[in-house]
């Protein structure tokens, strides 16, 4: 490969950001400034450098975190270090919404304007307030996974703070103040643009790690950026946070746990009562008994337990987990991989975030069990880029587990080697599709691959890969501790075990609910506080379908929802009362799919655009007036469902179709 790099040079900051991920360059062949005599005698790099292409995404994050955007010089330097063609690097950088290849303000406020939050007004108000502040930009964002306490927003500040800031210790239990030195106040409390003092911030911020990405590769402890999640966000708190994310409160919010304290909980058992930073506390709450049992019974028996438990994947596809593991374990090719899909980006979904923030060690343990069962020695945890607190807690949990011999060369002294690497997504819903996720980790555009071959045969880096959702993996722990038979006794015959539901929208107590499979929609809604004027429920998120308010007797099981002509998806229950304008909700869903289509196949790339256009045309029309466009929507929707490459295009018409057919949206 004879790559041509342009004349653009990286700035010192950009060079430092890339070097923090990749280490200093070894020779002029991979970007060192000084060429020595040896460099002239032989070429270095080649296959070894290309073998590190999976560091392209961490490298782009490093550039983006340090300077706020990806410049020509920075991108070229990163590409030279990894022997990635600059055109391909540019193609990857422009794929993700969190990166920009044009200069932009160092601080970006991203306000969720999706189904639940609908923060378009908030976005406008914050934009107006911050219009005169240099270095701050405001953007509308798709669902940030903060639906239970929206409107949500993320403030991202690139670059180190003006004054060195003490590294925050990992937060302790909810509500407790962080230990260590108090935050240094950098400057006087900022004033709002109209000159009025801004009230002190409520304790609702979640501060991101501010370290270099790449989980432990270089940049130890040095703050290169700040990420802050706010929910509920107000114009006041957002303005304050945008002006100075560092001094904004770093206290974690009390996790809204509607069922806290109930003994019947299995998946949420520890959340809220265990210290997410403490491995000892996790073990005191029953942690690592599942892994010990796994070692005691051996990989084949673990797979048998998982198969017998009847566990179905909780990410939306409901594929039998035991069968997936068995198929992966049986492949002769090496190495095998375990991938945890934590790219939860479906509007209305936030259960995985609650699990990862509240019980991070459980996911680490579950991934280790999965790795042991399928014969993998490496696990990748692909976490969506908008979850700074989950990133921080999982990084801490993995480091602690590694330090205590629960990850590494000799897990629990059993001679089994396993380690986990976290990969941060960069704003692309499509990367939750399993094969797109592999491409994203490998440093390619997050476009889905065509199946077959399936991931169990040819997945990450071409190896057999077991790819599971966070909730699926966490279910493996109770299967091993209570035994397959006891687990399978929970729920129904076909849908076994407990299930997490993300309830949001027009309910009194939005949040994550854990119920055994088989509870009805009505039971769940009454737990969460069903409104009197309920109009419709969106089951399964944007890719799911609407059901009517009088269909609350639908059992929340895979087979029950299927029989009712809808889907359970990943467990989203989004309630709409009769004040919500349905055509506008449908437009937002269509806009979401248009934005998030990767653009690879024609039915989805153009079809999602035509769907949105048709919905715009009929937004205020009904009956015969809308008939033309509804026929057109049906035609386009059918082609998207039948001919798209992946699930995104195949489901992009579900919600709209169900709104037309079940709710009579345009009658």
Partner 1 sequence: MTAIPLQPPRRLVEFTLDGAATRVPEGATLLDACRAAGKDVPTLCEGDTLTPKNACRVCVVEVEGARTLAPACSRAAEPGMSVHTDTERTRHSRRLVLELLASSVDLSTTPRAAAWIVEYGAEPGRFGADAARLNEEPKVDNDLYVRDYDKCILCYKCVDACGEQWQNTFAIAVAGRGFDARIAVEHDAPLTDSACVYCGNCIEVCPTGALSFKSEFDMRAAGTWDESAQSETTTVCAYCGVGCNLTLHVQDNEIVKVTSPHDNPVTHGNLCIKGRFGYQHVQNRD
Q: Which residues here bind partner 1, judged by CB under 8 A?
A: 1-4, 6, 8, 72, 75-76, 85-91, 94-95, 97, 101, 428, 445, 450, 452, 594-603, 605-610, 613, 617, 632, 635-636, 638-639, 641-645, 650
State which residue, 353 or 445, has the beta carbon closest to partner 1.
445
Of the CA atoms within 13 Å of residue 146, those in its CB half-sphere come to 31
Q: Report the 10 Å Cβ neighbour count for 555.
A: 19
516 and 501 in contact (C-beta within 8 Å)?
no
CB of 446 to partner 1, least distance (A): 9
Backbone dihedral region for residue 310 (phi beyond 0: left; psi -120 to 50: alpha; all else: beta):
left
CB of 130 to partner 1, least distance (A): 27
CB of 640 to partner 1, least distance (A): 8
**Which residues fall within 8 angstroms of residue 157, CB to CB, at 6 or more apart?**
106, 107, 225, 226, 227, 228, 245, 246
Distances from the Cα of 229 to the Cαs of 95, 109, 144, 386, 396, in angstroms? 23, 10, 9, 8, 18
CB of 623 to partner 1, least distance (A): 20
State which residue, 75 or 302, has the beta carbon closest to partner 1.
75
State which residue, 189 or 617, has the beta carbon closest to partner 1.
617
Q: Specify the DSSP element, H or E, that contains 145.
A: none
Tell which residue, 330, 309, 331, has the closest CA to residue 320. Answer: 309
CB of 596 to partner 1, least distance (A): 7
Residue corresponding to tokens 């002769």: 332
CB of 497 to partner 1, least distance (A): 25
State which residue, 384 or 610, has the beta carbon closest to partner 1.
610
Distances from the Cα of 205 to the Cαs of 181, 231, 360, 427, 526, in angstroms? 18, 8, 19, 21, 30
State which residue, 446 or 516, has the beta carbon closest to partner 1.
446
CB of 6 to partner 1, least distance (A): 7
Query: Is the previous residue joined to 467 through a cis bond, with omega within 30 degrees of 0?
Result: no
CB of 87 to partner 1, least distance (A): 4
CB of 342 to partner 1, least distance (A): 21
527 and 513 in contact (C-beta within 8 Å)?
yes
**Which value, in Å, is the radius of gyration of the alpha carbons in the chain?**
24
How far apart, in whole angstroms, are the C-alpha atoms of residue 657 and residue 545? 8
Residue corresponding to tokens 């880096």: 461
CB of 453 to partner 1, least distance (A): 10
Helical packing angle, 86-93 and 56-67, nearest 10°:
60
State which residue, 76 or 471, has the beta carbon closest to partner 1.
76
Hey, what are 80's tokens? 């030279």
Query: Is the previous residue joined to 335 through a cis bond, with omega within 30 degrees of 0?
Result: yes
The bridge status of strand 545-548 relative to strand 465-469 is: unpaired
How far apart, in whole angstroms, are the C-alpha atoms of residue 330 and residue 532? 53
State which residue, 155 or 645, has the beta carbon closest to partner 1.
645
Hey, what are 204's tokens? 């609702």
State which residue, 2 or 667, has the beta carbon closest to partner 1.
2
How far apart, in whole angstroms, are the C-alpha atoms of residue 118 and residue 584? 10
State which residue, 299 or 545, has the beta carbon closest to partner 1.
545
State which residue, 202 or 462, has the beta carbon closest to partner 1.
462
State which residue, 467 or 596, has the beta carbon closest to partner 1.
596
CA 175 to chain centre: 24
CB of 255 to partner 1, least distance (A): 33
259 and 273 in contact (C-beta within 8 Å)?
no
535 and 549 in contact (C-beta within 8 Å)?
yes
Q: Report the 10 Å Cβ neighbour count for 128.
A: 12
CB of 447 to partner 1, least distance (A): 8
State which residue, 80 or 174, has the beta carbon closest to partner 1.
80
């Amino acid at each position: 490969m004879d790559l041509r790099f342009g004349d653009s040079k990286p700035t010192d900051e950009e060079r430092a950001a890339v070097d923090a991920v990749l280490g200093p360059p070894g020779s002029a062949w991979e970007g060192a400034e000084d060429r020595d005599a040896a460099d002239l005698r032989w070429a270095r790099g080649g296959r070894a450098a290309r073998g590190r292409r999976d560091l392209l995404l961490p490298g782009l994050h490093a550039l983006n975190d340090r300077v706020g955007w990806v410049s020509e010089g920075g991108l070229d330097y990163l590409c030279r270090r990894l022997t990635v063609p600059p055109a391909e690097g540019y193609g990857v950088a422009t794929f993700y919404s969190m990166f920009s290849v044009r200069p932009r303000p160092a601080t970006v406020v991203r306000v969720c304007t999706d189904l639940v939050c609908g923060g378009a007004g908030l976005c406008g108000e914050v934009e107006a307030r911050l219009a005169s502040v240099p270095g701050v930009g405001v953007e509308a964002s798709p669902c940030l996974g903060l639906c239970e306490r929206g409107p949500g927003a993320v403030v991202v500040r690139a670059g180190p703070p003006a004054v060195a800031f003490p590294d925050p210790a990992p937060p302790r239990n909810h509500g407790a103040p962080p230990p260590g030195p108090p935050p240094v106040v950098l400057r006087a409390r900022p004033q709002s643009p109209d000159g009025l003092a801004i009230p002190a911030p409520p304790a609702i911020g979640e501060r991101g790690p501010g370290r270099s990405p790449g989980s432990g590769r270089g940049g130890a402890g040095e703050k290169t950026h700040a990420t802050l999640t706010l929910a509920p966000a107000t114009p006041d708190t957002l303005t304050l946070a945008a002006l100075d994310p560092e001094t904004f409160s770093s206290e974690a919010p009390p996790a809204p746990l509607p069922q806290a304290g109930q003994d019947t909980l299995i998946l949420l058992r520890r959340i809220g009562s265990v210290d997410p930073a403490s491995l000892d506390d996790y073990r005191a709450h029953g942690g690592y008994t599942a892994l010990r049992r796994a070692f005691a019974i051996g990989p084949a028996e673990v797979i048998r337990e998982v198969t017998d438990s009847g566990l179905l994947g909780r990410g939306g596809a409901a594929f039998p987990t035991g069968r997936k593991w068995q198929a992966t374990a049986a492949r002769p090719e090496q190495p095998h991989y375990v991938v945890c899909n934590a790219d939860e980006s479906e509007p209305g979904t936030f259960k995985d975030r609650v699990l990862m923030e509240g019980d991070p060690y459980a996911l680490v343990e579950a991934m280790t069990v999965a790795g042991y069962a399928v014969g993998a020695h490496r696990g990748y945890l692909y976490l969506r880029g908008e979850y700074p607190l989950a990133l921080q807690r999982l990084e801490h949990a993995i480091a602690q587990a590694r330090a205590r011999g629960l990850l590494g060369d000799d897990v629990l002294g059993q001679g089994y080697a396993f380690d986990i690497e976290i990969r941060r997504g960069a704003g692309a819903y499509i990367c939750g599709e399993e094969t797109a996720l592999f491409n994203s980790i490998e440093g390619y555009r997050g476009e889905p691959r065509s199946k077959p071959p399936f991931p169990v045969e040819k997945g990450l880096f071409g190896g057999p890969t077991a790819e599971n959702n966070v909730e699926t993996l966490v279910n493996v722990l109770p299967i091993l501790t209570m035994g397959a038979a006891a687990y399978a006794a929970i729920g129904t015959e076909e849908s076994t075990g407990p299930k997490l539901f993300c309830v949001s929208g027009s309910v009194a107590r939005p949040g994550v609910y854990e119920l055994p499979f088989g509870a009805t929609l009505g039971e769940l809604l009454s737990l969460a506080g069903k409104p009197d004027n309920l109009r419709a429920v969106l089951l399964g998120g944007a890719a799911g379908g609407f059901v009517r308010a009088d269909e609350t007797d639908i059992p929340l099981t895979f087979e029950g929802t299927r029989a009712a002509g809808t889907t359970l998806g990943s467990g989203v229950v989004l309630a709409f009362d009769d004040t919500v304008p349905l055509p506008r909700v449908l437009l937002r869903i269509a806009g979401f799919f248009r934005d998030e289509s990767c653009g690879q196949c024609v039915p989805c790339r153009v079809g999602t655009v035509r769907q949105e256009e048709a919905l715009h045309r009929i937004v205020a029309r009904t009956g015969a007036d809308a008939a033309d466009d509804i026929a057109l929507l049906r035609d386009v929707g059918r082609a998207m469902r039948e001919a798209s490459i992946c699930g995104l295009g195949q489901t992009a018409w579900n919600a709209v179709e169900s709104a037309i057919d079940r709710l009579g949206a345009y009658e």
